[in-house]
């Protein structure tokens, strides 16, 4: 599939924003952190900025961005519509949670309920985003159980790195932050590795022989191209990347989305301010760049079944 940069930006930054809200909601609901006004303000500013910028970026992939609001009416059948509704409705508990933390410096009592709802809507919105791709039966790389896990894991991982930066900016000391970074980083690594293993070992479930019903005769080959020049379907659905380039980008993604930011985050846990703040900033930069590489590969390595009609290999 052709990697659309607007969608890559959207899924990377909105995922990180929802992940940060999830972590903030978790720490508030569990009372693991004091409701410091400026800590909360900065955290919500980061999260809302990433979510809103990501949502706006996603509209540029539409043929008519000005009509994006109409997608909300198809919630009965479209995960894209459900994602939009969850994103809009979710801002109500998000905002109340922010008001309680920033204005009243309180996340107990009724405000704790808003923290729990923030956790719930953050998970549901990222889940809906992942289901846009996980329900496409014609794309083997997406129609599998790993897709949802990858989106949720990377949202938590990037959100925890942003939360780690906040903790160091405000000189906050709590062992829970280091624990969350360790767990979410390893989780993202393990789930993404399982996804790539699936991609490399799973055969295409619709080879040309099955699609034509001629498998009992022998191999099916394309005799003549259905068109004389590349069309829109081939441009959007037929993007391909050489195996050697994909492996190289996977290595770059591993170093930038996991190894470097994970190591930096651990180094900054009990370091001096002149080390931990620059280290935490670098960890955020690397994890966002690495996630964008991972997300580019998520699209580039996906093959649509329709390309069999144009003579593409079935593996």
Coil, strand, or helix at residue 281? Answer: helix
- State residue 218's pLDDT score: 75
- Reported pTM: 0.91
pLDDT, position 164: 94
CA distance 261 to 188: 12
Written as six digits, the tokens of 148 are: 């949802």
Angstrom distance (rounded) from CA 80 to CA 1: 18
Q: Which CATH superfamily is domain 5-310 in?
A: Formate dehydrogenase/DMSO reductase domain (1.20.1630.10)
pLDDT at 114: 97
Count CB-CB contacts under 10 A for residue 135. Answer: 13
pLDDT below 50 — which residues of the chain? none
pLDDT recorded at residue 39: 95
- What pLDDT is stored for residue 68 in this prediction? 60
What is the pLDDT at residue 241?
75
- Cα–Cα dist 44/38, whole Å: 10
30 C-beta neighbours (distance < 10 Å), count: 11
Give pLDDT, residue 25: 96
């Amino acid at each position: 599939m052709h990697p659309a940069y607007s969608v890559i930006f959207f899924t990377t930054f909105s995922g990180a924003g929802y992940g940060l809200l999830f972590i903030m909601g978790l720490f508030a609901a569990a009372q693991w952190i004091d409701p410091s006004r400026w800590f909360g303000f900065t955290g919500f500013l980061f999260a809302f900025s990433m979510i809103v910028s990501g949502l706006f970026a996603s509209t540029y992939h539409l043929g008519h961005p000005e009509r994006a609001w109409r997608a909300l009416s198809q919630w009965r059948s479209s995960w894209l519509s459900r994602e939009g509704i969850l994103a809009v409705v979710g801002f109500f508990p998000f905002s109340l949670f922010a008001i309680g933390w920033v204005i009243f410096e309180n996340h107990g009592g009724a405000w704790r309920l808003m923290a729990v709802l923030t956790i719930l809507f953050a998970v549901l919105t990222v889940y809906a985003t992942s289901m846009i791709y996980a329900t496409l039966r014609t794309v083997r790389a997406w129609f599998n159980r790993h897709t949802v896990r990858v989106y949720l894991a990377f949202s938590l991982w990037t959100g925890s790195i942003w939360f780690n930066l906040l903790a160091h900016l405000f000189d906050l000391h709590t062992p829970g932050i280091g624990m969350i970074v360790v767990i979410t980083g390893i989780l993202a690594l393990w789930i993404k590795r399982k996804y790539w293993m699936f991609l490399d070992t799973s055969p295409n479930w619709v080879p040309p022989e099955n699609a034509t019903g001629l498998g009992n005769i022998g191999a099916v080959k394309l005799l003549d191209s259905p068109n004389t020049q590349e069309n829109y379907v081939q441009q959007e659905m037929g993007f391909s990347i050489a195996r050697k380039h994909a492996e190289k980008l996977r290595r770059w993604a591993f170093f930038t989305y996991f190894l470097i930011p994970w190591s930096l985050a651990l180094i900054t846990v009990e370091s001096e301010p002149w080390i931990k703040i620059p280290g935490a900033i670098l960890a955020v930069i690397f994890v966002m760049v690495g996630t964008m590489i991972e997300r580019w590969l998520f699209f580039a390595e996906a093959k649509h079944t329709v390309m069999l009609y144009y003579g593409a290999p079935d593996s």
